[in-house]
Amino acid sequence: AKDRWLSMAITLFGRNERLIVIHDVSRLRQLEQMRKDFVGNVSHELRTPLTVIRGYLETFEDLVPAGAKRMLVQMQEQADRMDALVRDLLALSRLENGSPEQRTPVDIIALLEQITEEALAVSAGRHRIHLSLETDLGLSGYQHELRSAFTNLVINAVKYSPDGGDITVRWYTQDKDLCFAVTDSGVGIEEHHLPRLTERFYRADPSRSKHTGGTGLGLAIVKHVLLRHGGELEVSSQFGSGSCFTARFAGSANLGDKS
Ligand code: ADP
């Protein structure tokens, strides 16, 4: 059918003339913006009732009879899950809409030291976490976004590694790029999942992820944060033996902004 249109166009316009097809994408853009606003508004509106529910559930802890404790704990777990989802959806929507803030120099060394400390607390001695700081260069960017992206990658390594696993967090330069990498000796990911990992709610192993308690939005957040910093996410993995997630900031080492 495409060829028929082409030959008709050539007949109508002659070989030396140009046929220009213009698609009006403004309506599509408008719909996309409406979707982003909707998700942002819904997430924001859900926060207040959720905070009230979680607050009351906490006060019930001392009041419910022993037989009902298990139900209360489940209600609290589900309310916490919903709270995490709403927070991640809100974070994603803010990232998509861009923040009006100014970039500032971020001390990546201090940030990674804090993140590693937090990961050690989450792991509670079940993993060995090594921090390898191979450059003292920082990045110009949005500190809280970089914190959230790097934390997501390190906590995923903890979540998807069995007890006794080794995790290495690296900050280094490669050619002119600045790189942050997390390598784990965990469950690994089958190759066909790799291209889809940063999609919202995409999970390589839904039953395992259900137990690890994530929202399914972590890598989507990472992708958006990196986009806003001119960076890219690279994933390599060996199913059954471990994964490596690398955030590469192209040409950033050139800037040389020590923080
Ligand atoms: P989740 O909340 O499910 O962890 P993410 O967006 O952070 O959501 O990750 C998406 C999926 O990618 C996970 O469900 C898991 O299947 C896979 N994944 C992420 N990090 C790792 C890792 N370090 N090792 C193995 N699988 C991982």
| pLDDT given at position 116 | 98
213 C-alpha to ligand 1 centroid (Å)? 11
Q: Are strands 104-106 and 139-141 parallel, antiparallel or unpaired?
A: antiparallel
Distance CA 159, CA 122 (A): 9
| pLDDT given at position 39 | 87
97 C-alpha to ligand 1 centroid (Å)? 24
| pLDDT given at position 195 | 96
Residue 257 three-state SS: coil
Structure tokens at 156: 């995923």
The ipTM of this complex is 0.99
Q: What is the DSSP string of 124-189?
A: TTSSEEEEEE---B-EEE-HHHHHHHHHHHHHHHHHTS-TT-EEEEEEEEETTEEEEEEEE-SS--
Q: Take atom 11 of ligand 1 and give the residue whose Cα is closest.
A: 203
Q: Select from 154, 181, 159, 178 the least CA-distant residue to 170.
A: 181
| pLDDT given at position 212 | 79
| pLDDT given at position 17 | 67
> Global pTM?
0.86
What's the average pLDDT block by block, 10 residues per block, for the chain (259 residues)?
59 66 81 87 91 92 89 94 94 85 93 98 96 96 96 97 97 96 97 96 84 90 96 97 97 66
| pLDDT given at position 13 | 62
239 C-alpha to ligand 1 centroid (Å)? 13
User: Does ligand 1 lie within 6 Å of residue 187's CB atom?
Assistant: yes
**175 backbone dihedrals φ, ψ, rounded to 5°:** 50, -120
User: Does ligand 1 lie within 6 Å of residue 209's CB atom?
Assistant: yes
243 C-alpha to ligand 1 centroid (Å)? 10
Q: What is the DSSP string of 208-243?
A: HHHHHT--S-HHHHHHHHHHHTTEEEEEEEETTTEE
Which helix (H) or strand (E) segment holds residue 106: the answer is: strand 104-106
Radius of gyration of the chain (CA): 23
Distance CA 219, CA 229 (A): 15
User: Does ligand 1 lie within 6 Å of residue 160's CB atom?
Assistant: yes
Q: Are strands 139-141 and 177-184 parallel, antiparallel or unpaired?
A: unpaired
